[in-house]
Chain A
Amino acid sequence: AQSVTQLGSHVSVSEGALVLLRCNYSSSVPPYLFWYVQYPNQGLQLLLKYTSAATLVKGINGFEAEFKKSETSFHLTKPSAHMSDAAEYFCAVTNGGTSYGKLTFGQGTILTVHP
Chain B
Amino acid sequence: DAGVIQSPRHEVTEMGQEVTLRCKPISGHDYLFWYRQTMMRGLELLIYFNNNVPIDDSGMPEDRFSAKMPNASFSTLKIQPSEPRDSAVYFCASRGTSGTAEQFFGPGTRLTVL
Contacts and interface: CB of A to CB of B under 8 A. Distances in A.
Interface of A: 32, 34, 36, 41-46, 49, 51, 90, 94, 96-105, 107-108
Contacts of A45: 105
Contact of B43 (A41, A99, A105): A105
B2 interface: no
Contacts of B102: 34, 46, 49
Nearest to A108: B42
Interface of B: 4, 31, 33, 42-43, 45, 48, 50, 55-56, 91, 93, 95, 97-108, 110
Contacts of B43: 44, 90, 105, 108
A101 B50 contact: yes
B42 A101 contact: no
Chain A at the B interface: SS class: loop
Give the interface centre of B45, B95, B103, B108 by most chain A CB atoms within 10 Å: B103
B42 A103 contact: no
A43 B106 contact: yes
Contacts of A99: 97
Nearest to A100: B101
A108 B37 CA distance: 11
Contact of A107 (B33, B42, B91, B95): B42
B42 A96 contact: no
A102 B48 contact: yes
Contacts of A98: 97-99, 101
Given A42-B107, A101-B95, A51 B45 contact: no
A49 B99 CA distance: 11
B101 A103 contact: yes
Contacts of B42: 105, 107-108
Contact of B101 (A36, A41, A96, A107): A96
17 contacts: A32-B101, A42-B107, A42-B108, A43-B4, A44-B91, A45-B105, A46-B104, A49-B100, A98-B101, A101-B31, A101-B55, A102-B48, A103-B45, A103-B101, A103-B103, A108-B42, A108-B43
Contacts of A32: 100-101
